[in-house]
Amino acid sequence: MTTGFFIAIEGGEGAGKSTQANLLAKHLQSLGFEVVTTREPGGTHTAEKIRDILLDPKIDDMPATTEALLFAAARADHAANLIRPALERGAVVICDRYIESSVAYQGAARGLGVDYIRQLSAWATHDLMPDFTIYIDVPVTDSAERMEGTDRMEIQSRDFHTLVHQAFRDIASNSNSAHVQIDGTRDREDIAEQISTAVTEAMKSR
């Protein structure tokens, strides 16, 4: 049992996750919370090195299983060395992507199995689950327009990103954990306000 509060922000490429993670961090800091903003894959020295491999566009022969295990390995390090310690000292942790991204990308879109990937993540993190998950929903067409990078995940096919999008929606509608789905096509201040309201509610009701 930790005293902090763990928030995951999920969604496809260009959904506005990083934008909203920063706005939410500023908002919570202004309320006096210690806020740790982090991202996946990455967040720690080891996990950032794994990120470099995972997102390297020059690698075009990575088996889906390797990909899933590397994401899980990065998450294991991130959970043990950054997220859990921050929560134990009472911080609010805002994580740009977490388990649901693995479930959507590797479990559904890569076809490895959503239950299997969920179990792998749970095992890798010793069951460190978010207290609250924000899913930012953006259609694949908008997502493609907003995409800036050319990393190995972003350059996957439109069909792949469509599967990811469908999977995120399925996860959001079937989730029995604390969860909010946000329409990511609205303007960023609007979205930020919806998110802070939802987070305040979730932190109160915990």
User: Footprint of ligand ADP on this chain (CB under 6 A)?
Assistant: 11, 13-19, 146, 148, 187-188, 191
Of residues 11 and 107, the one with the C-beta less far from ligand ADP:
11
Of residues 17 and 110, the one with the C-beta less far from ligand ADP:
17
Of residues 47 and 153, the one with the C-beta less far from ligand ADP:
153
Indicate the SS3 state at residue 206.
coil
Of residues 21 and 28, the one with the C-beta less far from Mg ion:
21
Residue, CB closest to Mg ion: 18
Indicate the SS3 state at residue 40.
coil
Tell me the closest approach of the beta carbon of residue 46 to ligand ADP, in angstroms: 22
Q: Is residue 22 a contact point for Mg ion (CB under 5 A)?
A: no
When CB distances are held under 5 to 8 angstroms depending on the partner's kind, the choice from Mg ion, ligand ADP, none that residue 27 binds is none
Closest Cα partner for 202 from 122, 133, 118? Answer: 133
Chain residues 134-173 in contact with Mg ion, contact rule CB under 5 A: none
d(CA 118, CA 103): 6
Residue with structure tokens 């989730």? 175
When CB distances are held under 5 to 8 angstroms depending on the partner's kind, the choice from ligand ADP, Mg ion, none that residue 146 binds is ligand ADP
The full 3-state SS of 129-153, as one line of letters, equals: CCCEEEEEECCHHHHHHHCCCCCCC
- List all residues 6 or more positions away from 30 whose beta carbon is below 8 Å from its beta carbon: none
Of 16-24, 101-109, 111-119, 158-166: span binding Mg ion (CB under 5 A): 16-24
Closest Cα partner for 35 from 47, 22, 16, 52? Answer: 22
When CB distances are held under 5 to 8 angstroms depending on the partner's kind, the choice from Mg ion, ligand ADP, none that residue 19 binds is ligand ADP
41: left (phi over 0), alpha (psi -120 to 50) or beta: beta
Taking each continuous run of H as one helix and of E as one strand, the counts in the chain are 9, 5
When CB distances are held under 5 to 8 angstroms depending on the partner's kind, the choice from ligand ADP, Mg ion, none that residue 107 binds is none
Residue with structure tokens 């954990």? 177
Tell me the closest approach of the beta carbon of residue 96 to ligand ADP, in angstroms: 6
Structure token digits, residue 202 = 């979730």
Of residues 2 and 18, the one with the C-beta less far from Mg ion:
18
Q: Is residue 185 a contact point for Mg ion (CB under 5 A)?
A: no
Chain residues in the site for Mg ion (CB under 5 A): 18
